Amino acid sequence: MERINQPFKKRLVKTRDKSLKQKGQAAVTDALFFLIIVMALVSFLFFFSSQYGRTVGEYSDSKYASDYASSALKTVLYSSFARDNVSVEDSDEVDFLIAAIKEDYADDTSIEYFKNDLTDSVKNVMQPVRNSFDYLLFIRISDGSTFTFPYFFVSRKEFVSEKEGTFVSDVTSQEKNYYCAVTKQLDVDNFIVFIGARGQAVSSITFPLIDGESHNGVAQLVLWYPKNFSEEEAVFQKLNCELIPEISEN
């Protein structure tokens, strides 16, 4: 009887051993999956905690730049302007600068006469943050079929440094100002992406003409952290900018 049950006992032992191996493999697999999940959660929490302060800081900086751009654009467009070519304090007739710009545009669709007044206004408004941001201000006007840019001003800093082996010393910056003859909105959009704008503000403006018609326009102010790039940079070259030595500052 024992001889007859011997093969059955061997099969039972093999089945039991196989079952134990499968259970052991399942336990190891479960442990590995659990370990992977724990590691993923730990990595996520570490990444989140390390990026939290940085994200909040970037949002705060962006919000500040956007708020400043919005306030600055309003101040520029509605700054006081003396009609009789004297100081605002001594003038008998004071108006908004934007009114003078509209009148200048009405007769010949250009604002060349008041271009420097507009530039002086924006430079004064940006003075408190001139060391923190570079900026551009443009006016874009549509006649219904095409866009024109009668005013496009860029103020940026160019950095110069001396290298001593692997060390950089004596970093200085020079403020450079430009008037640009832009022809395409796409070139403007590409430049804004390139410099990584931190704050923008846009204001709609209607420009009446002497014949009774009008053109729709916008004024846009863009701020960004100083970005060191060459004047030969392709995206900058497409703006067709010319340096204005007489109002550039060191």
Could you give the 3-state DSSP secondary structure of residue 49? Answer: helix
Min mean pLDDT across 13-17, 61-65, 171-175 is at 13-17
pLDDT of 38: 79
Angle CA(83)–CA(150)–CA(182) in degrees, nearest 5? 150
| One-letter amino acid for residue 180 of the chain | C
13 and 105 together in one domain: no
110 and 26 together in one domain: no
Question: Which residues neighbour 234 within 8 Å (Cβ) at sequence distance 6 or greater?
Answer: none
83 and 26 together in one domain: no
In a domain, 47, yes or no: no
178 and 97 together in one domain: yes
How many helices and strands, by DSSP H and E, does the chain display? 5, 8
In a domain, 55, yes or no: no
Over the stretch 74-85, which tens digit does the pLDDT of each residue have?
999 988 877 777
13 and 72 together in one domain: no
- What residues does 222 pair with on adjacent strands? 136, 200
70 and 133 together in one domain: yes
For the beta carbon of residue 21, count every other beta carbon within 10 angstroms: 10
19 and 67 together in one domain: no
For 160, phi then psi, to 5°, come to -125, 135
- Is the CA virtual torsion 178, 182, 186, 187 positive or negative? negative
Two tokens, residue 27: 């336990």
14 and 127 together in one domain: no
Integer Cα distance of 142 and 147 in angstroms: 5
Please state the pTM of the whole predicted model.
0.72
Residue 125: domain span: 63-247
Say whether pLDDT at 152 is over 60. yes
182 and 221 together in one domain: yes
Contact status, residue 223 vs residue 65, Cβ threshold 8 Å: yes
- What residues does 208 pair with on adjacent strands? 214
In a domain, 2, yes or no: no
Over the stretch 93-149, which tens digit does the pLDDT of each residue have?
788 889 989 999 998 889 998 899 899 999 999 999 988 899 999 999 998 778 999
Mean pLDDT of 208-234: 91
In the chain, % of residues over pLDDT 90: 41
In a domain, 86, yes or no: yes
127 and 235 together in one domain: yes
In a domain, 137, yes or no: yes
